Amino acid sequence: MYPQDAEPEFGPTRTSQVATAFRGRTGQHRGNVAALAQRVLPSAGWRPGLRRWRGVLRVAAVLLPTLAAAAYYFAIASDRYVSEARFVIRTGSKPTGLGGINALLQFVGLSRSEDDVYAVRDFLTSRDAMHQLLAQLSLTDIYGRPEADWLTRYPSIAFGGSDEDLYRYFERMLSVVVNSTSGLTTLRVQAFRAEDAYRMAESLLVLGEGLVNRLNTRVQEDAVRVAAGELAQAEKRRIDNQIAVTVFRTRELVLDPTKSSAIVVDLIGKLSEQLAEVRAQIAETQAGAPGSPELPSLQQRAAALDRQIGIETARVANGSDRLAEKIGQYEGLMLEREFAIRALSQAVAALEAARTEARRQQLFLERVVEPGLPDKAMMPERWRMVLTVLGFNVIGWGIIWLIGAGLREHASHHAD
């Protein structure tokens, strides 16, 4: 195993070299160093036997762990069944890719969600998922079956009966792998019975679907909450405005002051026309017949029309009816009503857009491959495990040999 020149020489020449090195370093007891080295260091006759025993030990150190692993995996280790399922997390948003599974999903109007698939993966391998699974299945019974070997079953010498030990054991029996290229997630569950593996895989898929539903509910609530709040405020504003208009009409005993003022203005216009005609008649009578008996009647009529116009004008301005003030208040209410209606319309549109966006972002767990009931045990992979142990042993002893050779070369260099 070792090169010939790497073996230490324990003859007289080597003894003298050691004695010389000791004398050079200590500077004292020069006469006793050679004798001490001659007594302590073995003679050259021991070297072949020592080398032979070292070779036997090396071979034993490499083969014994391998033989122990072979004995365990081929004679003791229990069969484990694997149930496998594959799924993809998709959403209704527009797909961005055109290759692989993306092209298929785009054909049906769906795209995969690249972010939430990792959330589902982490959930399925979490303590929360294990606790929810415990509410449906007895994991201690499933992994403590009589056919399970003493090292692999739960609990065992490697895993105690605590909740933390159960979770570490659960992690070993479960694998969730995400393919970042296709977006497919592969779920593999191991158990000592085929029906146990199938039931666990099915239950985990149901738990994953439940998580996706909760994420959808949360997304929809978050997206709609703000828009719904704005709509509630717009509705309250519109209701308050309508109440204010009703209170105004009840207090002022008028439905629309602007229409009332229009009637008064129209009346003033008509009275003004009549007044103008009467005054024209008065002027014509005074010019043609100053002593006409109709003149006083015309003058009285003109005065009456003038008084009525003044009364109606006062009503519009600042009289008892206060139409101008009422019109100002009413127009303010109408302006607020217009703003409230516009805000309500915008809030309704925003809420509908938020709901549409929430539906667009809704997630779905689509089963691509259903979990199957295995009819053959796929684990443990006995030959692969035994060859792995052998490979690690060979590599380990190779590293140790390199370190030992380096140390011997270093010691020889300093001794020379």
- Flag whether 192 is in a domain: yes
Distance between CA 272 and CA 291 in Å, rounded? 26
Q: Are 113 and 153 part of one and the same domain? A: yes
Q: Are 94 and 148 part of one and the same domain? A: yes
Domain count, the chain: 3
- The predicted-structure confidence for 268-307, as pLDDT tens digits, reads as follows 677 788 778 878 877 777 777 777 777 788 778 778 877 7
Residue 83 has pLDDT above 80, yes or no: yes
For residue 126, what is the DSSP state?
S
Q: Are 138 and 237 part of one and the same domain? A: no
Q: Are 36 and 87 part of one and the same domain? A: no
Q: Are 166 and 262 part of one and the same domain? A: no
CB atoms within 10 A of CB 88: 22
Q: Are 92 and 218 part of one and the same domain? A: yes
Structural domain for 57, as ranges: 4-76+381-415
Category of 189 on φ-ψ map: left (φ > 0), alpha (ψ -120 to 50) or beta: beta
Residue pair 116/215 in contact (Cβ under 8 Å)? The answer is yes
Distance between CA 300 and CA 284 in Å, rounded? 16
Mean pLDDT of 205-234: 86
Adjacent-strand bridge partners of 174:
189
- Flag whether 202 is in a domain: yes
- Flag whether 130 is in a domain: yes
- Flag whether 397 is in a domain: yes
- The predicted-structure confidence for 104-138, as pLDDT tens digits, reads as follows 334 333 444 566 788 899 999 999 999 999 999 98
Residue 56 host element (H or E): helix 47-71
Residue 287 host element (H or E): helix 257-288
- Flag whether 374 is in a domain: no
In 3D space, the residue among 379, 4, 413 whose CA is nearest the CA of residue 194 turns out to be 379
Note the pTM of the prediction, 2 decimals: 0.57
- Flag whether 40 is in a domain: yes
Using DSSP, state whether 86 is helix, strand or coil. Answer: strand
Half-sphere exposure at residue 12, Cβ-oriented, CA atoms within 13 angstroms: 0
Residue pair 316/265 in contact (Cβ under 8 Å)? The answer is yes
- Flag whether 287 is in a domain: yes
- The predicted-structure confidence for 349-400, as pLDDT tens digits, reads as follows 888 888 777 777 778 888 999 998 988 888 888 888 888 888 888 888 888 8
Using DSSP, state whether 28 is helix, strand or coil. Answer: coil
- Flag whether 184 is in a domain: yes
* Average pLDDT value for the chain: 76
pLDDT of amino acid 323: 63
